Amino acid sequence: MSDAPATVDRLDWARARGVGALAEKMGFEWVELTLDRAVGRMPVEGNTQPVGLFHGGAYCVLGESLGSMHANLHAGPGRLAVGIDINATHTRSATSGFVTGVCTPIHLGRTLTVHEIVVSDDQGRRCSTVRITNMIRDLPRE
C-alpha cells in the first residue's frame, strides 16, 4: 500500500515530503501519521482574521494537508492523490494557542478517498469539521 513500512517511518516519510509552501508558512506541524489516521497542528497566531479568530481558510489548509497526505500514503508508490472537493463547517472560534486536526478515513478506494478532519482547540473543543475527497491517479511513466 505504501513505501513507508513502520509508523515512525511514515511520519519521517511525511516530513521528508513536506506539506507544501502554504502549510509550511502557516506553521503546520506533523504529530502522527499511521494507516488509520493523520494528526497535525497549526498555531492560531499568524493565521487569524482581522477580528482575531482563526481563519476559516486556515481550517481548510490544515484539513487538506492532513487528508491529502493520508490519501497519498494510501495510494502507494507510483500513484498520486489530489484533492477534488473540500468543505468545512466551523462550530467554534479558536483565538489562541494551537488547533489540532485529527484526520480519519471515511472511504479508502482504488480511485477515490474521503476523509473527515476534526479540528479542536487546546481545550479539546471541536472548532471545525472538514471533509476532503481525493482522486487517485497513476503517475505518468517515464
Catalytic positions are 64
How many whole angstroms separate alpha carbon 51 and alpha carbon 55? 10
- Asked if 62 contacts 101 with a C-beta cutoff of 8 angstroms, the reply is yes
Largest CA distance in the chain: 50
**Which sign, positive or negative, has the C-alpha torsion 12, 59, 104, 106?**
negative
Residue 78's alpha-carbon distances to 73, 82, 139, 142, in angstroms, are 11, 13, 5, 11
The beta-carbon contacts of 45-50 under 8 Å, at least 24 apart in sequence, are 45/96, 48/95
